[in-house]
């Protein structure tokens, strides 16, 4: 039986494909096992990591992404350090213990600028700081760590070289992986992950992404469904998998990576109004409430239907507290560092 093989770490890619096709009682069992495993490692604690999308400037052109540089329909913005600090202080009041600073690939933010921002956050709040600002050099990662950065998120998006090249005209697969290895070697808590269902993707390729996460031995693993964005070249190209597959991916990732932090990612609420709640019962142990000040949100539409565009940081902060109450979970105390 495959679940036993996973426990003994003796599985292969075909086993994962089989699990991705599970239905009925067997699927229920998978979800149940993932939830039990999450509970046995993290208890009822869900860590809250507020995400501030602080710049939507981007120099590159990932085919799926709404803020790709060729999309002239978005108004570009950068949020000032003062406004970021103000937002961080509000987040703290809601039990969010990490701030995730995310942007496009924006060279305006030099390592010095980001370093100064991190230092200010560290001095004026007790938040852990995660950055998600794209591919940077090893020296920049080293510098940012020195200035207080705790973690870095950089998705590999797909582990299939051909798919990667097809959808990333300005990026190089080998360089992306080298970036991830640099982060790990520098002892920065590293998160990565992938898009579930790029156009033309097969079950085998999806299973390959899942195995690759395990191989990378990540501290955090984030994955969400590809959603076709009409403002991109992938307009009209649909996700090859059905919705249930998206949920299976997260549950199986938990089974494969018992001790990784796995967030219930935003895109799941775009495909199912209860999506993020369901994931918290199927293996995920982290929630990343949107903390971006409301007025910027409409200009960070990576995909259509992105939730919480009309809401404020306060709304999302209260919303997750209510969700956790409904699910009988607690807000994780402390920074929620890697336990690997
Ligand atoms: N659908 C789903 N996710 C997307 N992302 C970017 N564009 C889309 C889309 N159209 C994801 C990428 C990126 C993360 C910040 O958002 O995986 O790493
Ligand atoms: Fe934003 Fe619910 S998480 S309103």
132: CATH: 3.20.20.70
Per-residue model confidence (pLDDT) at position 240:
98
Whether 158 is covered by a domain: the verdict is yes
Q: Judge if the beta carbon of residue 34 lies within 6 A of ligand 2.
A: no
> What is the crossing angle of helices 13-20 and 203-216, to 10°?
120
Angstrom distance (rounded) from CA 290 to CA 307: 9
Whether 4 is covered by a domain: the verdict is no
Angstrom distance (rounded) from CA 190 to CA 187: 8
Per-residue model confidence (pLDDT) at position 135:
98
Q: Which of 134, 302, 303 to mutate to test the pocket of ligand 1 (most atoms within 8 A of CB)?
A: 302
Q: Judge if the beta carbon of residue 177 lies within 6 A of ligand 2.
A: no
The residue with tokens 């990540």 is 218
Q: Judge if the beta carbon of residue 324 lies within 6 A of ligand 2.
A: no
Q: Judge if the beta carbon of residue 321 lies within 6 A of ligand 2.
A: no
Per-residue model confidence (pLDDT) at position 133:
98
User: pLDDT of 66-97, one tens digit each?
Assistant: 999 999 999 999 999 999 999 999 999 999 99
The structure tokens listed for 108 are 């305006």
Ligand 2 mean position, distance from CA 195 (Å): 22
The structure tokens listed for 110 are 């030099």
Please give the model's pTM, rounded to 2 decimal places. 0.98
Whether 6 is covered by a domain: the verdict is no
Angstrom distance (rounded) from CA 156 to CA 211: 13
Whether 237 is covered by a domain: the verdict is yes
Instruction: Kindly report the backbone phi and psi dihedral angles of residue 194, in degrees, each rounded to the nearest multiple of 5, phi listed first.
Output: -155, 165
Q: Judge if the beta carbon of residue 60 lies within 6 A of ligand 2.
A: no
Q: Which atom in ligand 1 lies closest to the alpha carbon of residue 229?
A: 10
Ligand 1 mean position, distance from CA 230 (Å): 14
Per-residue model confidence (pLDDT) at position 265:
98
| Beta-bridge partners for 51 | 100, 290
Length of the chain: 340
| Number of structural domains the chain divides into | 1
Q: Which residues of 58-82 are buried (b: 16+ CB within 10 A; e: fewer)?
A: bebbbbbbbbbbebeebeebbbeee
Q: Judge if the beta carbon of residue 290 lies within 6 A of ligand 2.
A: yes
Per-residue model confidence (pLDDT) at position 279:
98
Q: Which of 319, 325, 327 to mutate to test the pocket of ligand 2 (most atoms within 8 A of CB)?
A: 319
Per-residue model confidence (pLDDT) at position 18:
98
Cβ count within 10 A of residue 142: 15
Instruction: Kindly report the backbone phi and psi dihedral angles of residue 296, in degrees, each rounded to the nearest multiple of 5, phi listed first.
Output: -95, -15
- For ligand 1, atom 7, which residue shows the shortest CA distance? 65
Helix locations, the chain, DSSP H? 2-7, 13-20, 24-42, 81-92, 111-124, 138-146, 161-167, 173-185, 203-216, 243-256, 267-271, 275-280, 313-327
Gyration radius of the chain over CA positions: 19
- Compute CA distances 95 → 21, 82, 103, 151, whole Å: 38, 21, 23, 19
Whether 336 is covered by a domain: the verdict is no
Whether 276 is covered by a domain: the verdict is yes
DSSP percent split of the chain into helix, strand, coil, nearest 5: 45, 15, 40
Q: Can you give the residue range of the structural domain that contains 277?
A: 11-331
Whether 250 is covered by a domain: the verdict is yes
Q: Judge if the beta carbon of residue 90 lies within 6 A of ligand 2.
A: no
Per-residue model confidence (pLDDT) at position 287:
98
Q: Going residue by residue through the chain (340 aa), what tens digit of pLDDT does each one get?
A: 999 999 999 999 999 999 999 999 999 999 999 999 999 999 999 999 999 999 999 999 999 999 999 999 999 999 999 999 999 999 999 999 999 999 999 999 999 999 999 999 999 999 999 999 999 999 999 999 999 999 999 999 999 999 999 999 999 999 999 999 999 999 999 999 999 999 999 999 999 999 999 999 999 999 999 999 999 999 999 999 999 999 999 999 999 999 999 999 999 999 999 999 999 999 999 999 999 999 999 999 999 999 999 999 999 999 999 999 999 999 999 999 999 8
In the chain, % of residues over pLDDT 70: 100
Q: Judge if the beta carbon of residue 167 lies within 6 A of ligand 1.
A: no
Helix locations, 125-187, DSSP H? 138-146, 161-167, 173-185
Whether 94 is covered by a domain: the verdict is yes
- For ligand 2, atom 3, which residue shows the shortest CA distance? 316
Q: Judge if the beta carbon of residue 319 lies within 6 A of ligand 2.
A: yes
Ligand 1 mean position, distance from CA 64 (Å): 7
Per-residue model confidence (pLDDT) at position 106:
98
Decide: helix, strand or coil at residue 11.
coil
């Amino acid at each position: 039986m495959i679940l036993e093989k996973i426990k003994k770490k003796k599985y292969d890619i075909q086993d994962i494909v089989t699990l991705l096709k599970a239905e009925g009682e067997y699927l229920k069992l998978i979800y149940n096992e993932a939830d039990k495993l999450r509970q046995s490692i993290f208890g009822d604690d869900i860590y809250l990591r507020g995400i501030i999308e602080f710049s939507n400037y981007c120099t590159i052109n990932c085919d799926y992404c709404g803020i790709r540089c060729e999309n002239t329909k978005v108004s570009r913005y950068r949020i000032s350090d003062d406004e970021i600090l103000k937002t961080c202080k509000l987040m703290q009041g809601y039990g969010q213990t990490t701030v995730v600073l995310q942007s496009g690939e924006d060279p305006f933010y030099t390592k010095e600028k980001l370093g100064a921002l991190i230092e200010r956050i560290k001095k004026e709040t007790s938040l852990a700081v995660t950055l998600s600002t794209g591919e940077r050099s090893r020296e920049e990662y080293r510098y940012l760590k020195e200035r207080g950065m705790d973690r870095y998120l950089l998705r590999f998006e797909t582990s299939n070289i051909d798919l990667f090249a097809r959808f990333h005209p300005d990026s190089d697969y080998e360089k992306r992986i080298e970036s991830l290895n640099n982060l790990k070697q520098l002892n920065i808590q590293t998160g990565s992950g992938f898009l579930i269902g790029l156009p033309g993707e097969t079950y085998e390729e999806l299973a390959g992404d899942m195995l690759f996460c395990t191989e990378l031995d990540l501290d955090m693993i984030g994955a969400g469904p590809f959603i076709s964005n009409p403002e991109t070249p992938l307009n009209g190209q649909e996700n090859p998998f059905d919705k249930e597959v998206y949920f299976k991916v997260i549950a199986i990732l938990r089974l494969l990576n018992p001790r990784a932090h796995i967030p219930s990612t935003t895109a799941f609420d775009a495909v199912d109004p209860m999506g993020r709640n369901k994931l918290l019962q199927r293996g995920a142990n982290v929630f990343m409430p949107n903390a971006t000040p409301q007025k910027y949100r409409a200009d960070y539409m990576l995909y259509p239907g992105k939730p919480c565009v009309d809401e404020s940081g306060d709304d999302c902060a209260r919303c997750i507290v209510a969700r956790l109450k409904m699910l009988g979970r607690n807000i994780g105390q402390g920074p929620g560092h890697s336990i690997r």
